[in-house]
Structure 1
Amino acid sequence: MFLINANVLDGKFCLRKADIEIEDGKIVRLEDSLPYKEEDLVVDCAGYTIVPGFVDVHVHGGAGADSSDGDAEGLRNMAKFLLTKGVTSFCPTTMTVSDAEILKALETIRSCMDDKEGAKIVGVNLEGPFISPKKKGAQGDEFIQAPDYDVFKKYYDSCGGIIKLVDIAPECDVRGDFVEKASKLCTVSIAHTATDYDGAVDAFKKGVTHATHLYNAMSGLAHRAPGVVGAVFDNENVCGELICDGIHIHPAVVRTTFKLMPERVCVISDAMRLSGVEDGGQGMLGVNMVTVKDGKATLPDGTIAGSVTNLHAELKNLVSWGIPLETAVRAMTLTPAKEIGMENEIGSLAPGKRADLVVLDENLEIVAVYHLCFCLCRAALTAGHEDRIREEQKGKKICIAQIAEESYPKTARRAFAGGSPHSPSSRRTHSRCSRSKTTAHPRRIFRCRRSITRSRRCNTRCSDRLHPCTVC
């Protein structure tokens, strides 16, 4: 498969016109212009931007499911939901629950790691139980434990070593050996902690290299008491998570953080089971009941309890707050991939890496998601046709054909209904796209043009930096 004429955010996170060749689920080549044969499947992505698939290393749930439930079907539904938001890789994140529940959750997550449906599970984030009761947030205090390496090693071994992140309140580590030992197995993160600047600096020296939801559930920055936040700013080896939903952190603080440590920001969702569920719903987060109102998830006492956002929504927030697209995307792709030691497989668009791609239009809306050589187009995302398409096209590579913002052409519907991608019905050009230029082998090219009126293109011409109008 070839994706041509796209605005591509390349491996160096520079936006440029380029073509991408995909084979067997991996990127083969990414160059300014690639030759292809007449029989090749080619997707013309002129006017669209292709970025790496998003990587969420801190997400508890979504679509009614939670990672701590120990329910494989719920986990699969969560993975499918995340894929519709551009997330192609994620770490299901556990809560502070009972020992038996954690072990069951880990076993279930491991059993789903080879699933072909939805976003790919690439590991586990163990947020509890080694936290401080003074900064528990929405975590239940009944099952909080002092950091104990032997307990952690039991968890780690029980799931075959798939734990990629473990959280710790360093001041609660009475034995003082947890970080040094655990950091040899996975990334150790400072989280839900009441420690101060000096305590955080000491933890960083021992091997902590990550900070869970920076600013939240930790000591903040003050001019005489820098706190954990100040310690993170002060240490170039520590990466800080940010929840960019506009609720957890003020946009001005987000901008300041990106200015101070642009390549050390890891955007996460921290989403719970009510993400993707209608506003006003209720659901459990660990041992606590959470209510969502106006997009804010809270406990009965008003404590913020995770979020109901997703990385795609956060990307749009960040760009609207003045963060460059390239910087924002990097913070939710390559940076989190590095934090879990998978930067050689995912996180950027480069030859040899997985072909996890998100196609965005000029409004940063998702047009398509490429994952495991399967293309989810907007019609599938909004109309819920993913399962039907996957069943009818089993074993085939699916292209996006004449994807439109406001309509879904009949020719494209035929292509997804099981017709050959090279059949006359799927080669036709939608009438609104008739002015689009065609490159070599026009009958083998599937157009990815905006199906919008010329007047609308004119209206976006001056303000659209990434996709200038080419018609008027």
Structure 2
Amino acid sequence: MYRNLLIKNTRICCNGSLIDKDELCVNGLTGLFENSLTNSSGEMDLETIDLENRIIAPAFIELQINGCFGVHFTNFEDEGTYGANLEMVSRYLVQKGVGGFYVTLPTVKADVFKKILPQLKPREYDDGAGLLGAHCEGPWLNPSKKGAHDASLMQTPCRTSIEQLYGDNDSVSAIKMVTLAPELDGSTTVIEELTKGHNIRVSLGHSAANFDTGLAALKAGATTMTHVFNAMNPLHHRSPGLAGLMVSEESPYFSLIADGIHLHAATLAMAFRANPQKCILITDSVEMAGLADGLYPGHAQIPHQQRKQGNQVTIEGTDTLIGSCSSLDECIRNLTQWSGCSLAQAVQCATENIARMMGLKDRGVIEMGRRADFVVLDDAGRVLETWIGGKAVYQSER
């Protein structure tokens, strides 16, 4: 049974600001925000919810997540098991305030891409975050900046095609973003083909490119940078590298891992302040997120044992970072603490900025006609409730 909702006495996160809102209407049948709702008699037919001045924000969007809660997205047994794991992840993520997520597939063999990508077409789940498609982080990456990726599987754009690596149109249709290194031979052609031919966003990362090469990639159609400062040349006062693009005239969007491990707090604050409207928070989380500390087996991306200590995961016996175990709500709170920005500004980096960059018109902003995917937060940014399509799917113990 659907419920039309009248939400009263709240503040909403909008464009980096907190705005007092006396009333907010949700159509329980369509799951959309509306200006007002009436029944056939023209009278209000709503269930009223008083939020007692708590904060409403758009449900968060996970742009880069490799896995969590014991599931790594490169592990594929069969379609049924893989589908069940996706749904389990979607229901786990709403506990962290996430309303939509892009599955990240790192550098793996072509046959792995071709098996998994058809499973990643956008879809909605009952009581869970929506699957928004795939983010392929590789295999057109620079081996010198491989991070935890398998350098032996990396490819050069001039020697491979989209179809050879990812599969036919059925597979490619699931891809919404590709991370590549723009200094590789043939990258400009691939960027143009991805963006103009397939409407796929291109992000620059795992790269040793200099500033000018990055600028040329932006002019070819790239629009963002992946986990800035990690797996790229450091920012130097005479050679700013890709990181320097944050303050260029053609400034791309740029993602940051705000877990306190991948970036120092001062570096995170500097990057955010460079361009808050283009800043994107990501977790880059791996399958150990939500699990206990310890030693875990590898998979199609990492053929080594992995050690989890708190939010940090490394290849056993090394200090090579594999990914993070932070949640997106935690990253939002970290950004407010370390940069001094407001909660609404930090929320924007996990909602509106991503929606704008990815061209999402149905979510990521609280406005009439968009999906009623939202979270209720306290003033510290803790997730109290998550609503998907106008339906409460998570409530914390208070």
Q: Do the structures match in fold with TM over 0.5?
A: yes
5+ unaligned residues in a row in structure 1: which ranges? 383-404, 406-472
Q: Which residue of 1 aligns with 2:149?
A: 139
Contact between 1:298 and 1:304, CA under 8 Å: does it hold in 2?
yes
The answer to which of 168-177 and 197-206 deviates more is 168-177
**Whole-Å separation in 2 of the counterparts to 1:294 and 1:150:** 37
Which is bigger in relative contact order (C-alpha 8 A, separation at least 6)? 2
Q: Which residue of 2 aligns with 1:163?
A: 175
**Whole-Å separation in 2 of the counterparts to 1:76 and 1:127:** 22
Is 1:287 the counterpart of 2:293 in the alignment? no
Query: Aligned pair in 2 of structure 1 residues 318, 11: CA closer, same or farther (>3 Å)?
Result: closer
Is 1:66 the counterpart of 2:72 in the alignment? yes
Is 1:378 the counterpart of 2:395 in the alignment? yes
Alpha-carbon distance, 1:154 to partner:
4.8
Is 1:191 the counterpart of 2:209 in the alignment? no
**Whole-Å separation in 2 of the counterparts to 1:163 and 1:84:** 26
Alpha-carbon distance, 1:281 to partner:
4.6
Q: Which residue of 1 aligns with 2:79?
A: none
Q: Which residue of 2 aligns with 1:296?
A: 312
Alpha-carbon distance, 1:351 to partner:
0.3
Q: Which residue of 2 aligns with 1:253?
A: 267
Alpha-carbon distance, 1:37 to partner:
6.0
Alpha-carbon distance, 1:197 to partner:
1.6
**Whole-Å separation in 1 of the counterparts to 2:110 and 2:345:** 39
Figure out how many residues of one structure are paired with residues of the other and give that number.
375
Match of 2:140 among 112, 116, 130: 130
Give the TM-score normalised by structure 2.
Answer: 0.88
Query: Aligned pair in 2 of structure 1 residues 16, 105: CA closer, same or farther (>3 Å)?
Result: same
**Whole-Å separation in 1 of the counterparts to 2:142 and 2:36:** 47
SS class of match (1:170): coil
- 1:279-316 Cα shifts (integer Å, max 9, x gaps): 23524362343211132111122111111011111111
SS class of match (1:217): coil
Contact between 1:15 and 1:326, CA under 8 Å: does it hold in 2?
no
* Larger proportion of strand: 2
Match of 2:96 among 85, 103, 112: 85
Q: Which residue of 2 aligns with 1:42?
A: 48
Is 1:120 the counterpart of 2:138 in the alignment? no
SS class of match (2:262): coil
**Whole-Å separation in 2 of the counterparts to 1:210 and 1:275:** 25
**Whole-Å separation in 1 of the counterparts to 2:380 and 2:344:** 15
2:315 maps to a residue whose letter is: L
Q: Which residue of 2 aligns with 1:7?
A: 11
**Whole-Å separation in 1 of the counterparts to 2:267 and 2:88:** 34
**Whole-Å separation in 2 of the counterparts to 1:345 and 1:358:** 16
Give the TM-score normalised by structure 1.
Answer: 0.75
Contact between 1:19 and 1:30, CA under 8 Å: does it hold in 2?
no
Match of 1:363 among 380, 386, 389: 380
**Whole-Å separation in 1 of the counterparts to 2:215 and 2:60:** 30
Is 1:316 the counterpart of 2:372 in the alignment? no
Alpha-carbon distance, 1:25 to partner:
0.8
Q: Which residue of 2 aligns with 1:212?
A: 226
Is 1:351 the counterpart of 2:362 in the alignment? no
Alpha-carbon distance, 1:368 to partner:
0.7
SS class of match (2:62): strand
Query: Aligned pair in 2 of structure 1 residues 176, 255: CA closer, same or farther (>3 Å)?
Result: closer
Larger radius of gyration: 1
Indicate the percent of aligned positions where both proteins have the same amino acid: 27
**Whole-Å separation in 1 of the counterparts to 2:194 and 2:165:** 8
5+ unaligned residues in a row in structure 2: which ranges? 77-81
RMSD: 2.2
Q: Which residue of 2 aligns with 1:440?
A: none
Contact between 2:261 and 2:312, CA under 8 Å: does it hold in 1?
yes
**Whole-Å separation in 1 of the counterparts to 2:358 and 2:306:** 29
